[in-house]
Structure 1
């Protein structure tokens, strides 16, 4: 026979566990309905001492400011580019012909631009092709309605150039990359990084003193004469309109 005291204790234990189970069920329902908001708030309160300090906040603020400055600079450059393209498109001179780029192969072995103007517009083989800021190449072939430009970056392209303020002469040679090579004629050229390269005043192929490139690197140890790596002022990858200069 079961002891009455044990029976009462069992009933009390059973009822308590029943209330615990009921309370836990209500808690789960509460979490479900509130989508765990109470737990998230509790976690935020407990983890507050470990939150990022003011130093990280300053880094984030500086990063945001830098990003905004970069975006402003890019917008400024893009606006300048669009203004330049508009000037190229609207220019009118019997010796300067504006043309649109209809096809480009600026990254292939044959680095060329196809233009929408040809012999019907008085364009001839050997005319100089200018982009915004500088010389791009020379007209290589012409049809009645189109013309093909051989870029200065094309392998085998050679052009006489000089540094006007230093009176240093050289030959700009295309090597198949977006940065041609400038071979100096002097063994000790008076040149430095940042110098502007322009077409030679003695050139018979293109008009003299056209801006071409900027020196990026100089190898003074090369034999028999130093050479430089230059960056074209007008990049063929980002040009939609050009000017063709009639020289002959």
Structure 2
């Protein structure tokens, strides 16, 4: 039996009524499969003539200015560092040897560093090592071509120092941080923040009166004697070159 025209028309209307739903399901499936990339591309193409807007343009200009200022600041810092290195190299002589820092480890950042000169250049164990402005540490060991420096900040480092203003002596002890501790020998050191700390004139291991650092904080209640936190003049974390005072 054939299909009547009425039945064919009904089937066509039914199929046509479900067509939008089929298209919607297909579109959702396509979005899920493409993870929305098509809509994102379409939005980008349609909105491109309107970008950047005034607010976005200001953000971009502000970002460019900040980038230029940061680059200028870094260039100024690098220029100052290079000037310091040049002055350090020109100061060689009078028993001093300039040497480059060739290695240091993150775990031993406040403990030691390696120099690119050694015994063949006249460096010996126990020599004083200085950075720009002050003492850094002492030569711990040497090879023919390298030398290892024990920093003043290293645990176990102990150096005799004094405060020239009050003439009070003490021991500068490394504690593994950027600021070693000054342990006074007197119960009344009369020390205040800002006092200069230098090598004791009575020292037989290091050249007398070498500048070391500046007192940052004093603990008067420490037992058996007061202690002080010292900021080193030559910051170990920013050292590229040093001078070794040979004996």
TM-score (norm 1): 0.68
Residue equivalent to 2:207:
207
Answer whether contact 1:163 1:195 (CA < 8 A) is retained.
yes
**After superposition, what is the alpha-carbon deviation per residue over 1:122-144, rounded to whole angstroms, capped at 9, x for unaligned?**
11100000011110000011111
C-alpha distance in structure 2 between counterparts of 1:121 and 1:231, whole Å: 31
- Specify the alignment match of 2:223 in structure 1: 223
> Who is 1:121 aligned against?
121
Shift of 1:91: 3.3
1:81 Cα deviation from its structure 2 partner: 2.6
Change (3 A) 1:73 1:170: farther
CA RMSD of aligned residues (A): 3.0
Structure 1 residue runs without a partner (length 5+): 1-31, 45-63
Residues 160 and 211 (structure 1), Cα distance of their counterparts in 2 relative to 1, 3 Å cut? same
CA contact (8 A) 2:192 2:218 kept: yes
Distance 1:180 1:152 in 2: 7
Q: Do the aligned partners of 1:106 and 1:236 also contact (CA within 8 Å) in 2?
A: no
CA contact (8 A) 1:106 1:112 kept: no
Distance in 2 (CA, whole Å) between partners of 1:89 and 1:106 is 27
Matched residue SS, 1:88 = helix
Q: Return closer, same or farther for 1:129/1:35 CA change in 2, 3 Å cut-off.
A: closer
User: Could you say which residue in structure 1 is the equivalent of 2:240?
Assistant: 240
Contact 1:106–1:113 (CA<8 Å) still a contact in 2?
Answer: no
Distance 1:81 1:36, change over 3 A: closer
Per-residue Cα deviation, 1:134-189 (whole angstroms, up to 9, x for no partner): 10000011111100000111111000001112211110000111110100111011
